Amino acid sequence: MSARQPPDSNQPDRKSDAATRAGLVIVNYGKNLLVEDDDGALYQCVARRGLQQLACGDAVDWQPTGEQAGVVEILQPRNTVLLKADGRNRQRPLAANFDQVVIEAATEPAMDAFLIDKYTIAAELAGATPLIIINKADLLSAADRQSIESLMQEFRAIGYRYLFTSALENTGIDAFRDQLTGRTSILVGQSGVGKSSLIKRLLPEQDIAVGRLSTASGQGKHTTTTTTLYHLPGGGNLIDSPGVRDFRLGEVDPNTLGNGFREFIPHLGRCRFNDCLHLTEPGCAVIEAVNAGRISERRMESYRRLQSQ
């Protein structure tokens, strides 16, 4: 037997089975991963060569290589995944195995209804439920509140929940916690809306960095740079993610996009043409529903915008 040959080369399965343990990816720092075992202990891991990109929330099999270190060997199939484009415009997994996408917005930075739409569609296409949080409620004038309420009525009509919170004044936090209990949620939204601030309210013991809004630009300073999974005391997990300027949906088949609009679903399959894209086709059941006031014009406009991107 050559010295370079691994000692277990005749029985690779037995060896790896014996040493392999189940784990949960808590943070992905790029090359390095923080993996939690079934007992809640944390290990600094690297992925074995050739393994696909891992994400926060991934279920993995890994092998210890030292006291608190290991190598991730196997990625378990994902129930859900959210992708994001990296600097080179390649799609990378941001987080996996969540069942709820919490879309956080505020008036500072200015609310972007199209961004909220895109997140609801990403959630639906991933197979997760959207929840909308309007944070910084303490900053809202009566007029702000009214215009936000009327936008939220659109989302409510679709079947989405929304809540007002203030991380600053500690309001709406209990209602928010209720929506998180027993689920794995990912918190998304523009930089500076207060995602980390809300998590701090839910987990006061944790050391969570919070950024400052530059008053000059109204843009959030990018504070959270890694996606991290936190366990909630009442059960459930919450994943904090770095804020975005813009969120792109990535590659979606034009024929599939309509499935991301939950309010389109009852009308899909009722168009004259099987391959109807609901843009200008005659006999389109979705366009009829818009004309009849059953689908919001604004959401339809978002649909058209996404189809043309």
| Interface map 214-243 toward ligand GTP (x if CB under 6 A) | ------x-xxx-----------------xx
Among 151, 213, 276, 306, binds Zn ion (CB under 5 A): 276
Q: What residue has token string 């910084």?
A: 136
Q: What is the 3-state secondary structure (H, E, C) of 38-95?
A: CCCCEEEEEECCCCCCCCECCEEEEEECCCCEEEEEEECCCCCEEEEECCCCCEEEEE
Q: Between residue 115 and residue 154, which ones bind ligand GTP under the rule CB under 6 A?
A: 135-136, 138-139
Contact (CB, 8 A) for 230 and 237: yes
Among 196, 228, 237, 296, binds ligand GTP (CB under 6 A): 196
CB of 90 to ligand GTP, least distance (A): 21
CB of 263 to Mg ion, least distance (A): 31
* Number of residues counted as binding ligand GTP (CB under 6 A): 24
Q: What residue has token string 């370079």?
A: 4
What does the alpha-carbon distance between residue 255 and residue 149 come to, in Å, rounded to a whole number? 32
Among 57, 93, 172, 194, binds ligand GTP (CB under 6 A): 194
Q: Between residue 242 and residue 271, which ones bind Zn ion under the rule CB under 5 A?
A: 271
CB of 272 to Zn ion, least distance (A): 8
Q: Tally Cβ neighbours within 10 Å of residue 283.
A: 11
Among 84, 201, 278, 299, binds Zn ion (CB under 5 A): 278
Q: Between residue 206 and residue 235, which ones bind Mg ion under the rule CB under 5 A?
A: 223-224
Q: Is 172 in the site for ligand GTP (CB under 6 A)?
A: no
173 binds, among Mg ion, Zn ion, ligand GTP, none (CB under 5 to 8 A by kind): none
What does the alpha-carbon distance between residue 188 and residue 224 come to, in Å, rounded to a whole number? 11
CB of 170 to ligand GTP, least distance (A): 9
Q: Is 81 in the site for Zn ion (CB under 5 A)?
A: no
Q: Which of 122, 147, 119 is nearest to 132 (CA)?
A: 119
For every residue of 242-254, DSSP letters joined together read: --BS--------T
Q: Is 196 in the site for Mg ion (CB under 5 A)?
A: yes
**Is the dihedral angle over the CA atoms 131, 136, 142, 148 positive or is it negative?**
negative
193 binds, among Mg ion, ligand GTP, Zn ion, none (CB under 5 to 8 A by kind): ligand GTP
Among 100, 129, 185, 197, binds ligand GTP (CB under 6 A): 197
Contact (CB, 8 A) for 119 and 130: yes
CB of 262 to Zn ion, least distance (A): 16
**How far does CA 63 lie from the centroid of its chain?**
28
Among 80, 120, 166, 228, binds ligand GTP (CB under 6 A): 166
CB of 307 to ligand GTP, least distance (A): 29
CB of 281 to Zn ion, least distance (A): 6
Give me the residues that bind Zn ion (CB under 5 A), please.
271, 276, 278, 284, 286
Give me the residues that bind ligand GTP (CB under 6 A), please.
135-136, 138-139, 166-168, 191-197, 210-213, 220, 222-224, 242-243
Give me the residues that bind Mg ion (CB under 5 A), please.
195-196, 223-224
